[in-house]
Structure 1
Amino acid sequence: MAKALDDKLVLAISSRALFDLTESHQVFESQGVEAYRQYQIEHEDEILAPGDAFPLVKKLLALNSQLERAPVEVILISRNSADTGLRAFNSIQHYQLGISRAAFVSGHSPDPYLSAFGCQLFLSTHADDVRSALAAGFAAATILSGGARRAQNNELRIAFDGDAVLFSDESERVYQQGGLEAFQHHEQDAAKEPLRGGPFKPFLAALHRLQQEFPAGDSPIRTALVTARSAPAHERVIRTLRDWNIRLDESFFLGGLEKSAILEAFAADMFFDDQVGHCEKARGHVVTGHVPHGVSNE
């Protein structure tokens, strides 16, 4: 019996996030499950084109060849049945992705299996599954189509929003209830009080541990915080990350400016944000994951 995946960074991903299943999904939407099943069987030898999260997965898995151990595990968790999922596995083999584990749940929610596999992150195009995963305590995001795919650069670059993503939404609630002035006063008063962790804190911590396995200054992973906060609300964020003993490579306090130009300059492979408006603007520049968590999504 193989040992558990406790010592690895484990990403669970849906087949539609990994591959472009636009055509077959249209069959499912218009003709139903049986027509979809037949379509996938008839086309199972046709290789699927890469989906929006494909470059991220490829770069994550490439880290396994750079260390003495393989610290990254990617698991396909699909609403397909194993019968219709054969096409996805054929495509995985074609692209030589190091994915050997999968769960095909035949239309049911994949949520219970995230814990069974010890996942730190779940990426899907199915918003209800993402919400369910977040409610169960997992980092999860709905992948939005669009944005540049930066596979030509071997460095893995991931950007995060702060409140309701890396941190809890406690400060965002103050802002929405009392406005900017109340928010600034609240954050100044609580500057030395660490923020509670948000849904993506465990994933960021896992990335940070992975970075530390590489020689100093030579890590192929680069992380960034891209937040609408500005001074004086920056201090609490800096002290929180210090308290967590987590280092971010770059931090941008934008004071309400749009994030798109910064994300493009950073050349993010993936950006995670809780606010739909921010995601819609970002998705034209970088692959974006909407995190439907916190007060902005209630």
Structure 2
Amino acid sequence: MTANTKDKLVIAISSRALFDLDESHQVYVSQGVEAYCAYQTAHENDALQPGVAFNLVKKLLALNAPDPAHPRVEIILLSRNSADTGLRIFNSIEHYQLDITRAAFCGGGSSHRYIQAFGAHLFLSTDQDDVRQALDLGHAAATILPSQVGPRADAQLHIAFDGDAVLFSDESERIYKQQGLQAFAANEKMAAHTPMTGGPFKDFLAALHRIQAEYPAEASPLRTALITARGAPAHERVIRTLREWNIRIDEALFLGGMKKGEFLKAFGADIFFDDQKGHCDSAREHVATGHVPYGVANEACKKITES
């Protein structure tokens, strides 16, 4: 085991995103903490069923196969469970032979506090409050949404992103929300040669790019896509921004407002990240989806949550 996580892609994931803990969570909701602890202890040798992000984790860990001595990816478990109830989770990790050795069991406390300490590039959780707080601290984070989509047979890992408020800041989306489509299009045409500010997932994309750079494009075990509601003339600023960042993205779809679900299915995304809940609800019918509660599209929801 390496002593640190430097130069790796580090993903922090909650236990409820990795495994299906719905049954035991219902015990917690209906009967309380003590009953939940007793339930998990009684079932600690029963392997949990895979959760929504399980197949994503398997594909991420598979990126280490060419050189296990020098892994490219590390998965960190961040859990609200106690170490005692977390024994079932580690037993399940062993059952599925997942190479996960580092974890933080927070005993009911927020787990996002340990993202920076572990050097994680991304935090995936089913807990929206934890995700919001992580984003507020400047970390890439997404709420994994329930989905019945099965695993893709293809061994290549496919990751898809929305643009504004995910890879890029929400500065352009604010113009669209506040002034309308015409003002947005005019601004993007005028600013076509001005790179956009990075959004919460810029550094995560850059970390993926570093892995891709080790391979010829046709032999990479990882493929990325930008799938955005933008269309011409707002496409040029996106292309020039990625060029300025020197970040490779394999596919770029400018849909001009069309629904993204069928395109995500055609791309074969193992995970898709979007800031708008409506897009996410549509996407999760086709692919595993992470909602990024960031930017102008989520400000009203955030105020309601905080009030």
- TM-score, normalised relative to structure 2: 0.95
In 2 relative to 1, CA 52–102 (structure 1 residues): closer, same or farther, beyond 3 Å?
A: same
- Give the C-alpha shift of residue 205 in structure 1: 0.3
- Give SS of 2:149's match: coil
- Give the C-alpha shift of residue 172 in structure 1: 0.3
1:125 partner amino acid: T
CA root-mean-square deviation: 1.1
State the partner residue of 2:59.
Answer: 59
State the partner residue of 2:17.
Answer: 17
1:233 aligns with 2:234: yes
Matches within 5 A, 1:233-252: 233-252=234-253
State the partner residue of 2:164.
Answer: 163
Matches within 5 A, 1:95-106: 95-106=96-107
1:147–1:288: 8 Å Cα contact kept in structure 2? no
State the partner residue of 1:89.
Answer: 90
1:166 partner amino acid: L
- Give SS of 1:83's match: coil
2:133 partner amino acid: S
Overall identity of the aligned pairs, in %: 66
1:159–1:271: 8 Å Cα contact kept in structure 2? yes
2:276–2:298: 8 Å Cα contact kept in structure 1? yes
- Give SS of 1:258's match: coil
State the partner residue of 2:39.
Answer: 39
- Give SS of 2:151's match: coil
- Give the C-alpha shift of residue 256 in structure 1: 0.3
Deviations 1:222-258 (A, max 9, x none): 0000000000000000000000000110000000000
2:152–2:268: 8 Å Cα contact kept in structure 1? no
2:17–2:54: 8 Å Cα contact kept in structure 1? yes
- TM-score, normalised relative to structure 1: 0.98
2:46 partner amino acid: E
CA distance in 2, matches of 1:243, 1:22: 44
CA distance in 1, matches of 2:153, 2:98: 17
- Higher mean C-alpha displacement, 247-256 vs 26-35: 26-35
1:159–1:225: 8 Å Cα contact kept in structure 2? yes
State the partner residue of 2:304.
Answer: none
CA distance in 1, matches of 2:4, 2:96: 26
1:149–1:269: 8 Å Cα contact kept in structure 2? no
State the partner residue of 1:126.
Answer: 127
State the partner residue of 1:274.
Answer: 275
- Give SS of 1:64's match: coil
- Give the C-alpha shift of residue 15 in structure 1: 0.4
1:53 partner amino acid: A
Gapped runs of 5+ residues in structure 1?
A: none
- Give the C-alpha shift of residue 5 in structure 1: 0.8
1:171–1:187: 8 Å Cα contact kept in structure 2? yes
Gapped runs of 5+ residues in structure 2?
A: 300-307
2:164–2:170: 8 Å Cα contact kept in structure 1? yes
CA distance in 2, matches of 1:147, 1:44: 25
- Give the C-alpha shift of residue 32 in structure 1: 1.2
- Give SS of 1:268's match: coil
Matches within 5 A, 1:98-117: 98-117=99-118
- Give the C-alpha shift of residue 152 in structure 1: 1.8
1:163–1:172: 8 Å Cα contact kept in structure 2? yes
- Give SS of 1:41's match: helix
- Give SS of 2:77's match: strand
